[in-house]
Structure 1
Amino acid sequence: MIRQVELVERVLAYDPDADEDLLNRAYVFSMKAHGAQKRASGDPYFSHPLEVAAILTGFKLDTATIATALLHDTIEDTVATYEQIERAFGPDIAKLVDGVTKLSRLEVQSERNKQAENFRKLLLAMSNDIRVLLVKLADRLHNMRTLHHIKEVEKRRRIALETMEIYAPLAERIGMQEIKDELEDLSFGVLHPEARDSIMGRLEYLRGTDSRFVERIVDHLKRTLANAGIEAWVSGREKRPVSIWRKMQTKNVAFEQLSDIVAFRIVVKDVETCYRTLGVVHASYPTVPGRFKDYISTPKPNGYRSIHTAVLGPEGHRIEVQIRTTEMHEVAEVGVAAHWSYKQGEIGAEGQQYRWLRELLEILEQAEDPEEFLEHTKLTMFQDQVFCFTPKGDLFSLPRGATPVDFAYAVHSDVGDTCVGAKVNGRLVPLRSELKNGDQVEILRSKTQTPSPTWEGFVVTGKARSRIRRFIRNQQRGEYAALGRQIAQKAFKEAGESFTEKAIEAALKALKMKAVEDVYVALGDGNLTDRAMLAAIFPGRNIEQQPGAEKVVPLARARARQAKGSGSPVSIRGLIPGMAVHFAGCCHPLPGDRIVGIVATGRGVTIHTIDCDTLEQFADNPDRWLDVSWDRESDGTDRFTGRINTVVNNEPGALSALTTVIARYGANINNLRITNRSGDFFEMALDLEVKDVKHLTNIIAALRASPVISSVERARG
């Protein structure tokens, strides 16, 4: 365990003006507060904050951050209070300590929900001061280094998974590559111990068979650059086991097939020399196609700048080469900690490289619950980047696989909400098109446009998905409320009572709801029956239906009465006799599809395909599900609507070819809508009257064989 004097000396070594008295007071306060507490390893608990502070001295952080590291567990794990720390160390350090403190006393429904709430608080705290995150990462790093002392295997796995999914990506986002690498490697050892041991064993074998391999390559590169008059520092470093494992997984190759296990770094004096060095390397060694990336002209979101290339280097070895300046190298290793600008308060939620932090805060506002926030946050942090430009030249980084809709939401939420089309490199493209590095994207907008629920099926950014989901929730709530009001009015009329909202308002407490609109929404989505509403409004009264009124059958009794033959005008088994049947417009079920029925009070039953995304909305209401199936004895005379989406070449005779194929297979077009058009193609949605899913599949296969039709898919949303 590092001693007090040694810790202070480390800070003074890189910051002679550091507040030595503050560090000593923080050391003593923390040691007294933790007292005789012990860690799982048996060591004094105080050793943990001391080691966290020591980790941060390695990144040359300011005195306030080191003091925060010493104090970071005092509020959570001791009797010390926020007020005590504020009196002893001032409001700034007190806020930093509070920001790092976990919500361990928060009562939540599940471990996952607790994780989401903790991360939510951390995000809000670090948006005000990024140093909160620096302390938190060092805290997590020391906990991971000592994780083996925890006896429960499941607890170790849970902590490692949380580290891999949340803290390592956060470290990468602020450029703390060294911490990110170690966090991932430690987590990898817990989550996949056999894979890590196997890779480590193979690396040891390679070192044993050719121990001077890296040294020889470094010497050869140095001589090549020196002959060209370039002064450079060259080094080689093995990639970490987790990085090698990921490459084996993504490329589906064996360890022996990987040829860039070692990365070589060339550090030079300035940007001009970087590009001169690149020219020398490419002139001296054959390049590997598709492996060149220029992060100097287009830096990563975390500020990382470097040139990456792969060549067939000395002795015919395929090697990866990274070229950067000394300043770039420092930022690449320690990220935000390479700058002292946080002393002037310049690092926060502002600035281009912290755009992602502002987007996480926007997601926080849009998400319905903590778990949804965590899901969207992982989407935002996890994926590889592509870089795209606006027509004015502004650069935006997006996850790989992003679409123009993701780009629109990255520019601004309002741009995403009003997006009607997009031009990529001057050409109109479908909104679901995948963007590529260097694309110039122009978003076409309309004030009357609103987010389409279908967008959720192809967007990849958390910000876009959370915004679309919020719009869908609000839209559905409005629809449910309108329907629920109609159900309530009908229920009052059938009971012989005059409809009044005051009567409903008086029963809110009995119904356990906050507003009349909540009652309407519950009625509309089937979570509240009209009988239950009337019973709460008129307690003690026997509400009788008026003669001739449609009787509402409680779902529990309805299931008990399910008949083998439905008696409905459509060939479906498992329905209640006389129940109204609707086919869902979201998935357009056809005979041959596996189906399920969803009961809604006052609306009968809606038939969905078993894989319809809409069913997720009813996952918590199993009483509303009906087990139904198509009648196998149907004679096939009924016609059903199936929807297809197709892209047709914009050329004479294309539409005629489309309709001819459909007519030849005995189907009828009852609706055709052009969803997008350009100089080269038309996108259309067609509703076809078909016998069953096999009939539709045959039509799709025939359309795909037509040379004028670019693509055809069955619509699922």
Structure 2
Amino acid sequence: MDGQSGDARFLISDLCSYLERYLPIEQVKEVYRAYLFGAEAHEGQSRLSGEPYIYHPVAVARILAGMRMDHQCLMAAILHDVIEDTETAKEQLATEFSPEIAELVDGVSKLTQIKFRSRAEAQAENFRKMMLAMTKDIRVIMIKLADRLHNMRTLGVMAPNKARRIARETLDIYAPIANRLGINSIRHELEELGMAAHWPWRYNILRSALRKRRGNRKEVVSNIEEVLRGRLQQEGFDGEIYGREKHVYSIYRKMLEKKLPLSELADVYAFRIIVDSVDTCYRVLGVVHNLYRPVPGRFKDYIAIPKANGYQSLHTVLFGPHGLPIEIQIRTREMHRVAEEGIAAHWQYKTTGGALTPDTAAEWLRNLLEVQKDSGNSMEFLEHVKVDLFPDEVYVFTPRGQIFVLPKGATVIDFAYAIHSDVGNRCVAARIDRRLAPLRSQLRNGQTVEIITNPNSRPNPAWLDFVVTGKARATIRSFLKRLEQQEAIELGRRLLERELDALGASLEQITQDDTDRVLAEIGLDNFDHLLEQVGLGNRMAKLVARLLIASEDQPSAEGAAAGSLTIKGTEGMVVSFAKCCGPIPGDPVVAIFSPGRGLVVHHHDCPNLGDFRRQGQSWLDVQWAEEIDGEFSTTIRIDAGNQRGMLATIASLIAEEGSNIEDVRSEERDGLSTSLRFVVSVRGRKHLAHIIRRLKKVPFVMRINRVIG
């Protein structure tokens, strides 16, 4: 060990002295042993600042020691880079220390042995690995947050573009995770450092303006503090009172949200009162409400209903002297510790050594596992988790009084998925405060929501347009992917049967050897995957059929034409109907293969078919089934004389004929007449003809025709 390592020894001795305040001496010795191992593993490595690399892991452990984390977490913090940056293997750590420490270090380590197509993909996959490790042991994310905090404190040595990228990632992911776990002490510092590195000019201008502003209000803050302290003493309460400064980043966010310059933001004077018990919190609330008049609608009781991250406090806003708004938070000492340290304040151990987490964090971790299961890839997983990291909470109740905490803007569907994935998948209706409400209704604090389900129901793709929680979005997408896959396989089977029939064969006659030969030729794993590719239009059924019978002693049927494919209208997402011409049952129709979408059915006279007619391989003759149950969209154009109540009369007649109006547009022609375009749902040509006949009898209707193309 050289002279530089001697300085590092001083740092570890400083850490060990601190640890002796709350850890047994045997455990402190284990932490020191981990340091010796880490210092040797990182021997010769330096940070960009030029200091020995071991400075960084010791600093990370010091941050965690400030939150009184256990000795195994501190050992893993000191060793957190040895797998990633040295020759040390995970198995070596398990042998030298314990499997638990090896798992913690591995959970924080990046996937360096895998090559990714892009930095974004690498970031997403490493994030997924870390989050899944966190669901097994929350200490993984504690180490990662401390690691990120020390890196942000020393970001100045980085190249500006790299520093901005790291700062952006910190603001997007790590600060919100710290917030989600209630660790405000780390979250606020990450936000401040992140803003200073990502928007240095904005940060410095805003900080300078705030310093001037605070200089002018010191006397006001001091006076209010004295008045509050005097009134509490007069009432016999012993509490700590101090003014609370708003952070630069939180003020910047408020300026963005309210679209206001700093000069127009209300100058809120913030104070925190810390007392000894919950009962005293409520009694002190009464005292401050008697001292200054409360602002209506600005009281929040986070003691009775804690935030999703476990935060508890009473919040109230008062009209202070000269009408100045005063924001006051009242909490116990234990609540204050939880507010600053979050999940770390709840740290306990079972006899087995496994970590216990508070219910709120445990629920979030369970949701993470469900989101991971339903996400198609790491990029999608990262997207879903990011959604859940900004929860301005809404508190709603089940009819039995169970509380659910959802992000602001959450809908009935989000609530249904929060209860259980099956409840969301089968949701058909809902009652909010005993009244029927649309599924897209946004929920408000205090509402009671009852979900009505149907075992035969399934998610609607349109739900993705308004759900806001990651769990709901991931579960819906996963269900629709599985559904589309099943429908594609079924359609592929029908298309292949049709082509084989034209060649004088059938699927039953195809041997397993021929199937295996074709799968090997085109590089697919199984026959269902091949059928799915055919159903989605990614492979032509005609070519696959000829490959399958290539070695069969079948009669040649080169000139045979395959019969028309029958369309029922219930094939789901792999058969869609072109919006340009709106084909309906009874119309002559053709279908076009669209790669990835399957079949798109057009009216035979659709003008958009011109390009496809020159591409025989994409063309498919189809016909309607005899029995069709469903509704189809088509467009009609009505020229009518301008008259009061014209639109209402036409809409009423269409509704009377059992048709739903999906869209309507109007265009005034010459001041005397208007051209109306209605997109209506019909059961077929007969139904449409009946509607048109009824509309022709209306006196002011001059002309009516169906629009194709």
Task: Give the TM-score band, short-chain normalised.
Answer: 0.7 to 0.9
- Residues 1:641 and 2:634 are matched in the alignment: yes
The equivalent residue for 1:318 is 325
Question: What amino acid is aligned across from residue 320 of structure 1 in structure 2?
Answer: E
Residues 439, 551 of structure 1: alpha-carbon distance in 2 compared, 3 angstrom cutoff: closer
Question: What amino acid is aligned across from residue 229 of structure 2 in structure 1?
Answer: K
- Residues 1:600 and 2:594 are matched in the alignment: yes
Question: What amino acid is aligned across from residue 238 of structure 1 in structure 2?
Answer: E
- Residues 1:15 and 2:23 are matched in the alignment: yes
Contact 2:347 2:355 in 1 (8 A): no
How many Å apart are 1:446 and its aligned residue? Answer: 2.0
Question: Per-residue CA shift, 1:231-251, capped at 9, x if unaligned?
Answer: 210111211111001111111
The equivalent residue for 2:304 is 297
Q: 2:559 aligns with which of 510, 531, 546?
A: 546
Residues 694, 327 of structure 1: alpha-carbon distance in 2 compared, 3 angstrom cutoff: farther
Question: What amino acid is aligned across from residue 231 of structure 2 in structure 1?
Answer: T
Residues 317, 374 of structure 1: alpha-carbon distance in 2 compared, 3 angstrom cutoff: same
How many Å apart are 1:261 and its aligned residue? Answer: 5.0
The equivalent residue for 1:519 is 530
The equivalent residue for 1:288 is 295
How many Å apart are 1:47 and its aligned residue? Answer: 1.0
The equivalent residue for 1:331 is 338
Residues 194, 598 of structure 1: alpha-carbon distance in 2 compared, 3 angstrom cutoff: farther
Q: 2-side partners of 1:488 and 1:697: how far apart?
A: 38
Q: 1-side partners of 2:29 and 2:431: how far apart?
A: 61
The equivalent residue for 1:571 is none
SS in 2 for 1:238: coil
The equivalent residue for 1:89 is 97
Q: 1-side partners of 2:583 and 2:15: how far apart?
A: 69
SS in 1 for 2:294: coil
Q: 1:226 aligns with which of 225, 229, 233?
A: 233
Q: 1:664 aligns with which of 631, 637, 650?
A: 650
The equivalent residue for 1:309 is 316
SS in 2 for 1:45: coil
The equivalent residue for 1:506 is 517
Contact 1:670 1:689 in 2 (8 A): no
The equivalent residue for 1:695 is 676
Residues 43, 672 of structure 1: alpha-carbon distance in 2 compared, 3 angstrom cutoff: farther
SS in 1 for 2:156: helix
Q: 2-side partners of 1:17 and 1:376: how far apart?
A: 44
Q: 2-side partners of 1:183 and 1:501: how far apart?
A: 63
How many Å apart are 1:290 and its aligned residue? Answer: 2.9
How many Å apart are 1:547 and its aligned residue? Answer: 4.5
Residues 283, 62 of structure 1: alpha-carbon distance in 2 compared, 3 angstrom cutoff: same
Residues 664, 539 of structure 1: alpha-carbon distance in 2 compared, 3 angstrom cutoff: closer
- Residues 1:163 and 2:176 are matched in the alignment: no
Q: 1:407 aligns with which of 402, 412, 415?
A: 415
Question: What amino acid is aligned across from residue 293 of structure 2 in structure 1?
Answer: P
Structure 1 segments of 4+ aligned residues over 6 angstroms from their partners: 539-544, 585-590, 601-604, 688-694
Question: What amino acid is aligned across from residue 285 of structure 2 in structure 1?
Answer: L
Residues 445, 551 of structure 1: alpha-carbon distance in 2 compared, 3 angstrom cutoff: closer
Map residues 236-635 of structure 1 onto 2, 5 A cutoff: 236-260=243-267, 262-342=269-349, 347-348=355-356, 351-499=359-507, 500-502=509-511, 503-534=514-545, 536-537=547-548, 545-549=558-562, 583-584=577-578, 599-600=593-594, 605-606=600-601
Contact 2:268 2:324 in 1 (8 A): no
The equivalent residue for 1:176 is 183
Any stretches of 5+ residues in structure 2 without a counterpart?
Answer: 1-7, 566-574, 585-590, 604-616, 620-631, 637-644, 668-673, 681-709
Question: Per-residue CA shift, 1:526-583, capped at 9, x if unaligned?
Answer: 111234424644669999742555899xxxxxxxxxxxxxxxxxxxxxxxxxxxx974
Q: Which moved more, 1:319-328 or 1:185-194?
A: 185-194
SS in 2 for 1:300: coil
Question: What amino acid is aligned across from residue 56 of structure 1 in structure 2?
Answer: L
The equivalent residue for 1:613 is none
Question: What amino acid is aligned across from residue 600 of structure 1 in structure 2?
Answer: S
How many Å apart are 1:383 and its aligned residue? Answer: 2.7
How many Å apart are 1:665 and its aligned residue? Answer: 6.6
Q: 2-side partners of 1:363 and 1:664: how far apart?
A: 47
Contact 2:397 2:448 in 1 (8 A): yes
SS in 2 for 1:206: helix
Q: Percent identity?
A: 41
Q: 2-side partners of 1:603 and 1:125: how far apart?
A: 39
How many Å apart are 1:661 and its aligned residue? Answer: 4.2
The equivalent residue for 1:565 is none
Q: 2-side partners of 1:694 and 1:282: how far apart?
A: 63
The equivalent residue for 2:12 is 4
Contact 2:346 2:358 in 1 (8 A): no
Contact 2:302 2:313 in 1 (8 A): yes
The equivalent residue for 1:66 is 74
Residues 24, 437 of structure 1: alpha-carbon distance in 2 compared, 3 angstrom cutoff: same
Question: Per-residue CA shift, 1:328-351, capped at 9, x if unaligned?
Answer: 001001112113414655745783
TM (norm. structure 1) is: 0.78
Q: 2-side partners of 1:665 and 1:672: how far apart?
A: 11
How many Å apart are 1:10 and its aligned residue? Answer: 0.6
Q: 1-side partners of 2:564 and 2:558: how far apart?
A: 7
- Residues 1:41 and 2:49 are matched in the alignment: yes
Q: Which moved more, 1:448-457 or 1:67-76?
A: 448-457
The equivalent residue for 1:573 is none
Q: 2-side partners of 1:24 and 1:109: how far apart?
A: 40
Question: Per-residue CA shift, 1:107-134, capped at 9, x if unaligned?
Answer: 2222222122112111221112111111
Question: Per-residue CA shift, 1:380-428, capped at 9, x if unaligned?
Answer: 2223110111111111100111112111111111221222211111212
TM (norm. structure 2) is: 0.79
Contact 2:347 2:356 in 1 (8 A): no
The equivalent residue for 2:140 is 132
Q: 2-side partners of 1:391 and 1:585: how far apart?
A: 42
The equivalent residue for 1:656 is none
Map residues 138-153 of structure 1 onto 2, 5 A cutoff: 138-151=146-159, 153=161
Q: Which moved more, 1:306-315 or 1:343-352?
A: 343-352
Q: 1-side partners of 2:414 and 2:158: how far apart?
A: 42
Q: 2-side partners of 1:369 and 1:137: how far apart?
A: 24
Aligned residues: 612
Q: 1-side partners of 2:150 and 2:618: how far apart?
A: 49
Contact 1:349 1:358 in 2 (8 A): no
Residues 539, 625 of structure 1: alpha-carbon distance in 2 compared, 3 angstrom cutoff: closer
The equivalent residue for 2:623 is none
Residues 488, 660 of structure 1: alpha-carbon distance in 2 compared, 3 angstrom cutoff: same
How many Å apart are 1:257 and its aligned residue? Answer: 2.1
Q: 1-side partners of 2:455 and 2:372: how far apart?
A: 26
Question: What amino acid is aligned across from residue 523 of structure 1 in structure 2?
Answer: V
SS in 2 for 1:105: coil
Residues 215, 487 of structure 1: alpha-carbon distance in 2 compared, 3 angstrom cutoff: same
Question: What amino acid is aligned across from residue 388 of structure 1 in structure 2?
Answer: V
Question: Per-residue CA shift, 1:270-322, capped at 9, x if unaligned?
Answer: 11111111111122112223322110000012111001111122453212111
Q: 2-side partners of 1:492 and 1:532: how far apart?
A: 10
Question: Per-residue CA shift, 1:217-241, capped at 9, x if unaligned?
Answer: 3222212222222221011121111
Which structure is larger by alpha-carbon Rg, 1 or 2? 2
Q: 2-side partners of 1:319 and 1:347: how far apart?
A: 40
The equivalent residue for 1:235 is 242
Residues 356, 603 of structure 1: alpha-carbon distance in 2 compared, 3 angstrom cutoff: closer
Question: Per-residue CA shift, 1:420-443, capped at 9, x if unaligned?
Answer: 211111212111111111111111
